[in-house]
Amino acid sequence: MKIKLGLKKAKLWFYFFLVCHLCVSLEANSMILDKYAWTNRLVIVVTEKNKNKLEKDVRQFFELYRCDVDDRNLKLLSFFTDDPIVQQLPTSVQSQTGMWLIGYDGNIKAYSEDGQLLTKLFEIIDKMPMRKGEMKSGSGDCIK
């Protein structure tokens, strides 16, 4: 009887700490991404300081295709791996370098270790349901 009570108590404590951990994780993730939720799609780039070619390529892409980037409500967030704020990003972003596409809902839509995502970035976004609605409303002013 005591063993069963002990196991139940241990399970309750486990679930309590699990819920607390998840709440803290969600809160930490939301501190950075929440201000963009439902208003912007994000491209997050995480690189090492001495290996930042990807970051430079992405910035150049954003400048070169500024109209298309603006039309798709894209924002660029760039971080170095040793930046403390990286710990406030989603766990999957904290643990590696590369670039991530984050949708309006705050979920990761695509990832690449290098610049390959740039070649299909607009294509991926244009297939998203909310983007299809944006295109139907004719908000795009970019010349093709």
Q: Answer yes or no: are the C-beta atoms of 108 and 100 closer than 8 Å.
A: yes
Closest of 96, 123, 126 to residue 111, by C-alpha: 96
pLDDT given at position 6:
62
Give pTM, 2 decimals: 0.76
Average pLDDT, the chain: 84
Average pLDDT on 123-141 reads: 89
The stretches of 65-115 forming alpha helices (DSSP H) are 66-71, 91-94
Q: Name the band, by pLDDT with cuts 50, 70 and 90, for residue 23.
A: very low
Q: Name the band, by pLDDT with cuts 50, 70 and 90, for residue 5.
A: low
Into which CATH architecture does domain 31-135 fall? 3-Layer(aba) Sandwich (3.40)
State the residue for tokens 């969600």.
26
pLDDT given at position 139:
65
The type of residue at 17 is F
State the residue for tokens 């954003």.
62
pLDDT of 26 strictly over 50 = no
